[in-house]
């Protein structure tokens, strides 16, 4: 999934926890996903 689409989706699902990109990862308060060099969110993720 392209990073831009993932950000929109995460912000719709959890509007109180805005998604952001930092150090090659897409982050929310509870979720972290790796971003590929092509700018796509990878299936690899983690919950805190």
- For the chain, the domains span 3-47
The radius of gyration of the chain's CA atoms, rounded to the nearest angstrom, is 10
* Nearest in space to 22 (alpha carbons), one of 12, 11, 32: 32
The residue to which tokens 């972290």 are assigned: 32
**Rounded to two decimals, what is the model's pTM?**
0.75
pLDDT in tens, 26-36: 998 888 899 99
Beta-bridge mates of residue 31: 47
Q: What is the pLDDT of residue 48?
A: 53
Return per-residue pLDDT of the chain as tens, 48 residues. Answer: 899 999 999 899 888 889 999 999 999 888 889 999 999 988 776 665
Name the strand (E) or helix (H) holding 4.
helix 3-13
């Amino acid at each position: 999934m392209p990073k831009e689409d993932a950000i929109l989706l995460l912000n719709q699902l959890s509007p109180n926890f805005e998604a952001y990109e930092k150090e090659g990862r897409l982050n929310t308060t509870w979720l972290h996903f790796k971003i590929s060099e092509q700018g796509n969110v990878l299936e690899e993720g983690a919950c805190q």
